[in-house]
């Protein structure tokens, strides 16, 4: 694909502005949002087609951008809008701008593609089902696509925060789409509030970055990333304000603060609780926002400023541990869930854990790779789940399904492809990317990194086993065996508009792994690792390398003395051999639980084996009582404190005022005559007061 056979340099698509104006990609959905908001009711299919056209064109521009980058166009970094101009020499300037480099172009393509497919899918899922309020749905979807794309092309941290919050708003609106029911209304609130808690730390981080460096730019020599690197490399932090801390310590603090936002948005422990609830939203929304794109924003953010994180071994260790633990922790909960979307929700949390693990473990490339493949196969699984839910007349419990594979052939095959990718079975997409995540973490742990990396790696490995198990349990319960209900006996047919996205994503789930077959790096020619070449900017001009945004550069910082000081170790095996061994181990660890699942759930009428887990199952079904704990924090701690403050305020503070002042007296009746009097009484009263005051001063001041 990209980069293999460079297209001629003069190549350009006449009908799309391409890299020179990629911001138009972003503007299409914005205009669509406004149009649907204003005229949605009158538009054909309530705005669905408009959304399809605008995301379609957006996707084409993104592809054109990728092609142009692949054929040697330089990166684009330009300020487009000045939000607040700082006064010369004092006060920072806040801007919006675009940064188009291999990372953002790749992400832009993913967002464009998934958004387009979800729009198409919605024709079947929403329009055909006779939902009301569709203009609101499509308007919010367009607003989301706009915000997400703008987030992706952000050239500075403040702009990232702005659109990070806006995608959160869209998520709120879409989770709460069916707001008349109490469930979605509550889930929407929870999602915004929990992620807001993470964003609180993120915003402190943004403010700290601006206070420290005076800029929040990601790229270029004047960027905060480069300034931080230079400060540590030269040991001279005189140009920046580290607020009395050592430079590296302060960078770690900033890094961890920004991480707070990523933990919230990417649903990492302990701020993951909103994501399963977010499944109250329409399923296409779950696929787009709560699986493929918005949830990826946290990971993308860390990747976007990876040059900064690569400077702090502590921050990286924390990220690895959070990621590894979340991957494991969420997978345990997915084991026992009965509802299709719940399994997928916990699976999503777990998979984002892998990406965090990769980032913390020094695998920038692996994280981006897994982000890409996961976006494809998880969007597929959610859309597949949507197709199943429609055909099952909105039944989501897997125990009410069974035997759907014969009736829903296309859906089954596509869903199976996605499941094999999720479980990490060779040669599906997830196999390659998940393996690379584990491999990168392992070599940096072996290389003498922090012992935390070993722990995180082990957790990630355990999660592989569980992932394969719950994935096959899900597939078998849904599609195999005998139909367990009337609805499963005679499912509703899946319409074409739903099939097409499934097929496209199904095919991609099979082949996306080809992007970077690092497991086979010992046997493949070096040029075959396409994604690595892409993120190293080998197709992009020299300007890019200087921009310090390449995977190579991040690796350089990561392994340098002044940076995180990571080194790669291969445990006595060669690099290529270890990669191969790691791949085989991961495959075996995935295949065995898959076989176990087959044994347990593969029969015509499987038993609910998970009930054998007893109280452990209860614990898992209740999500370790994490939600109860958070509710307790809100209702058991915060609310009583607020109520107490209110009592104090009403009783004591206001009591003093009422008691001491003449308020009650004045209002109470003794001044009734004055009270009912005319304006002049008051004017006279005030004037009299003023006169007395002046007289006092006149006398004390001695000028009368």
Taking the complex as a whole, the smallest distance from the CB of residue 659 to another protein amounts, in Å, to 12
* Residue 72 neighbours by CB under 8 Å, 6+ apart: 6, 9, 539, 540, 541
383-394: string of b/e by CB count within 10 Å (b at 16+)?
Answer: bbbbbbbbbbee
In angstroms, what CA-CA distances link 599 with 479, 602, 603?
A: 15, 6, 7
Nearest to another protein of 409, 670 (CB atom): 670
Taking the complex as a whole, the smallest distance from the CB of residue 689 to another protein amounts, in Å, to 7
Taking the complex as a whole, the smallest distance from the CB of residue 656 to another protein amounts, in Å, to 8
Residue 515 contacts residue 531 (beta carbons within 8 Å): yes
Distance CA 439, CA 442 (A): 5
Run of H or E including 77: strand 76-84
| Coarse DSSP helix, strand, coil percentages of the chain, rounded to the nearest 5 percent | 70, 5, 25
Nearest to another protein of 493, 690 (CB atom): 690
In angstroms, what CA-CA distances link 11 with 25, 103, 508, 541, 544?
A: 19, 21, 26, 16, 20
Q: Which of these, 461, 489, 478, 463, lies nearest to 416 by C-alpha position?
A: 478
Nearest to another protein of 13, 698 (CB atom): 698
Sign of torsion over alpha carbons 376, 380, 381, 386:
positive
Nearest to another protein of 169, 455 (CB atom): 169
Taking the complex as a whole, the smallest distance from the CB of residue 662 to another protein amounts, in Å, to 6
Residue 401 contacts residue 338 (beta carbons within 8 Å): no
* Residue 513 neighbours by CB under 8 Å, 6+ apart: 373, 421, 427, 428, 429, 430, 431, 432, 433
Nearest to another protein of 523, 690 (CB atom): 690
Nearest to another protein of 15, 682 (CB atom): 682
Taking the complex as a whole, the smallest distance from the CB of residue 623 to another protein amounts, in Å, to 21
Nearest to another protein of 161, 328 (CB atom): 161
Distance CA 101, CA 306 (A): 14
Taking the complex as a whole, the smallest distance from the CB of residue 152 to another protein amounts, in Å, to 16
Taking the complex as a whole, the smallest distance from the CB of residue 247 to another protein amounts, in Å, to 16
Distance CA 287, CA 279 (A): 10
* R_g of the chain, CA atoms, integer Å: 29
Structure tokens at 400: 């009410």
Nearest to another protein of 162, 392 (CB atom): 162
Nearest to another protein of 234, 638 (CB atom): 638
Q: Is 246 helix (H, G, I), strand (E, B) or coil?
A: coil
Taking the complex as a whole, the smallest distance from the CB of residue 130 to another protein amounts, in Å, to 18
Taking the complex as a whole, the smallest distance from the CB of residue 178 to another protein amounts, in Å, to 10
């Amino acid at each position: 694909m990209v980069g293999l056979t460079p297209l001629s340099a003069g190549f350009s698509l006449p009908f799309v502005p391409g890299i020179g104006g990629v911001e138009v990609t972003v503007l299409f959905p914005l205009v669509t949002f406004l149009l649907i908001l204003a005229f949605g009711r009158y538009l054909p299919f309530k705005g669905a087609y408009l959304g399809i056209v605008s995301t379609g064109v957006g996707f084409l521009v993104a592809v054109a951008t990728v092609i142009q980058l692949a054929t040697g166009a330089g990166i684009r970094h330009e300020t487009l809008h000045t939000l607040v101009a700082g006064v010369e020499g004092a006060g920072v300037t806040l801007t919006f701008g675009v940064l188009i480099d291999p990372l953002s172009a790749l992400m832009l393509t993913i967002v464009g593609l998934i958004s387009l497919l979800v729009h198409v899918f919605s024709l079947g899922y929403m329009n055909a089902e006779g939902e009301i309020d569709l203009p609101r749905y499509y308007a919010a979807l367009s607003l989301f696509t706009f915000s997400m794309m703008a987030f992706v092309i952000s050239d500075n941290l403040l702009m990232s925060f702005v659109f990070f919050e806006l995608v959160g708003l869209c998520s709120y609106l879409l989770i709460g789409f069916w707001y008349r029911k109490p469930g979605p209304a509550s889930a929407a609130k929870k999602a915004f509030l929990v992620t807001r808690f993470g964003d609180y730390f993120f915003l402190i981080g943004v403010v700290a970055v601006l206070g420290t460096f005076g800029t929040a730019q990601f790229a270029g020599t004047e960027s905060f990333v480069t300034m931080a690197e230079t400060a540590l490399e030269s040991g001279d932090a005189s140009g920046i304000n580290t607020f009395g801390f050592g430079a590296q310590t302060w960078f770690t603090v900033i890094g961890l603060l920004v991480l707070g936002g990523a933990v919230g948005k990417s649903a990492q422990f302990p701020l993951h609780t909103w994501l399963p609830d977010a499944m109250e939203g329409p399923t296409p929304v779950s696929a787009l926002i709560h699986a493929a794109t918005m949830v990826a924003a946290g990971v993308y953010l860390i990747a976007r400023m990876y040059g900064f994180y690569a400077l702090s071994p502590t921050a990286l260790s924390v990220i690895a541990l959070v990621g590894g633990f979340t991957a494991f922790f969420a997978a345990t909960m997915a084991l026992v869930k009965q509802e299709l979307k719940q399994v997928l929700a916990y699976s999503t949390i777990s998979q984002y854990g892998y990406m965090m693990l990769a980032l913390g473990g020094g695998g920038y490339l692996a994280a981006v790779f897994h982000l890409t493949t996961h976006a494809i196969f998880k969007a597929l699984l959610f859309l597949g789940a949507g197709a199943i839910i429609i055909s099952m007349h909105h039944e989501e419990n897997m125990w009410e399904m069974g035997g759907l594979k014969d009736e829903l052939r296309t859906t089954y095959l596509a869903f199976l492809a996605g499941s094999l990718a999720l479980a990490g079975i060779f040669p599906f997409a997830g196999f390659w990317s998940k393996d690379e995540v584990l491999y990168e973490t392992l070599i940096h742990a072996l290389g003498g990194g922090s012992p935390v990396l070993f722990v995180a790696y082990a957790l990630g490995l355990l999660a592989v086993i569980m992932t394969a198990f719950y994935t096959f349990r899900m597939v078998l319960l849904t599609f195999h065996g005998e139909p367990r209900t009337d609805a499963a006996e005679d499912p509703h047919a899946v319409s074409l508009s739903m099939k097409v996205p499934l097929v496209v994503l199904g095919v991609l789930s099979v082949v996306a792994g080809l992007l970077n077959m690092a497991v086979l790096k010992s046997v493949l020619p070096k040029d075959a690792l396409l994604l690595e070449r892409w993120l190293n900017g080998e197709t992009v001009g020299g300007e890019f390398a200087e921009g310090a945004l390449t995977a190579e550069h991040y690796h350089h910082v990561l392994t340098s003395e002044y940076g995180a000081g990571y080194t790669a170790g291969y445990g006595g095996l060669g690099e290529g051999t270890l990669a191969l061994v790691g791949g085989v181990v991961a495959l075996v660890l995935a295949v065995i639980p898959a076989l176990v699942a087959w044994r347990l759930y593969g029969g015509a009428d499987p038993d609910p084996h998970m009930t054998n887990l007893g109280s452990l199952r209860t614990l898992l079904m209740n999500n370790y009582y994490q939600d109860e704990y958070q509710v307790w924090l809100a209702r058991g701690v915060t609310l009583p404190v607020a109520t107490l403050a209110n009592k104090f305020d009403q009783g004591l503070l206001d009591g003093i005022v009422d008691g001491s002042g003449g308020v009650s007296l004045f209002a109470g009746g003794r001044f009734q005559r004055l009270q009912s009097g005319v304006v002049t009484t008051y004017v006279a009263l005030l004037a009299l007061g003023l006169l007395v005051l002046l007289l006092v001063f006149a006398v004390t001041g001695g000028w009368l």
